[in-house]
Amino acid sequence: MTDRYAVIGNPIAQSKSPLIHELFARATAQDMTYARLEAPPGGFAAAVDAFRAAGGRGLNITTPFKLDAAAYATEASARVKFSGAANALKFEGNRVLAENFDGIGLVRDVTYNLNQSLKGQRVLMLGAGGACRGVLLPLLAQQPYELVIANRTLQKACDIASIGAQWGHVRSSSYAELVGRTYDVVVNATSASMRGELPPVPANVFARCHLAYDLSYGKGLTPFLRLALSEGVPALADGVGLLTEQAAEAFAWWRGVRPDTQAVRHLLTVPLV
């Protein structure tokens, strides 16, 4: 019997997840389908109930339902509990298991695909929203020398840093406090690139940077990456690697086999220069 999976969100037409998982299923000979599922605002639980009743085995979660997914689950990983958000669900009878693979996907892309070490590095994270929370624990597990979270509203960065401190050396910062400081890796976890804007980061942070990473994908050379390029950063990346690697983690969680991501990453990559 063919197993059913889907990605749920609103809007959902733009999602690349069906293409990614169809290619993964074909490459690993899995008998499964994967569809888009659009739920109305406030209608997440009802939509998931209907999907499960129809035999659905698992879901990927995208905007705006990651918090709803965490609340819907009966069991959640430490990453979900920390972030308050889930990007994957697995259904086993009455059990609903929740996971968040964004951070694992980011670390895999940086350390394996881009061959960049995070251990002992000074890492700067721009933004203290859900994207930051979703990737923080796997980043800290790489044992950077320090991870600094900068945000317009300093208190939000302070809140995340205080919780994350039990897993590693993490602290908060305002953007103004970044003047004169330099970092090895700079990650843009703000939504600025989605609007074609530049976060208020001083150019000096890139003085010794060897990797600038924008969590948004498919936008080409964003203002953030353009600034990094102008400052001489040798390696630039957007979130297409994160997207495919977190998808592969969810696929392995559901199916017990992890697909190779190289062909899919190349297919979805938008040139950055």
Give the catalytic positions in this structure.
Answer: 66
In order, the DSSP letters of 82-99 are HHS--SEEEEETTEEEEE
Please state, as a whole number, how many other Cβ atoms lie within 10 Å of the Cβ of residue 157.
Answer: 24
**Number of DSSP helices (H) and strands (E) in the chain, helices first:** 10, 12
Q: What is the 3-state secondary structure (H, E, C) of 201-222?
A: CCHHHHCCCCEEEECCCCCCCC
* Position 25, amino acid: A
Residue 134 near residue 111 (C-beta atoms within 8 A):
no
What are the strands, taking DSSP E only, across the chain?
Answer: 3-9, 32-38, 56-61, 75-76, 88-92, 95-99, 122-126, 146-150, 170-173, 185-188, 211-214, 236-237
Say how far residue 47 (Cα) sits from the centre of its chain: 24
- With H, G, I as helix, E, B as strand and everything else as coil, classify residue 184: coil
Q: Residue 182: name the closest of 206, 217, 216, 158 by CA.
A: 206
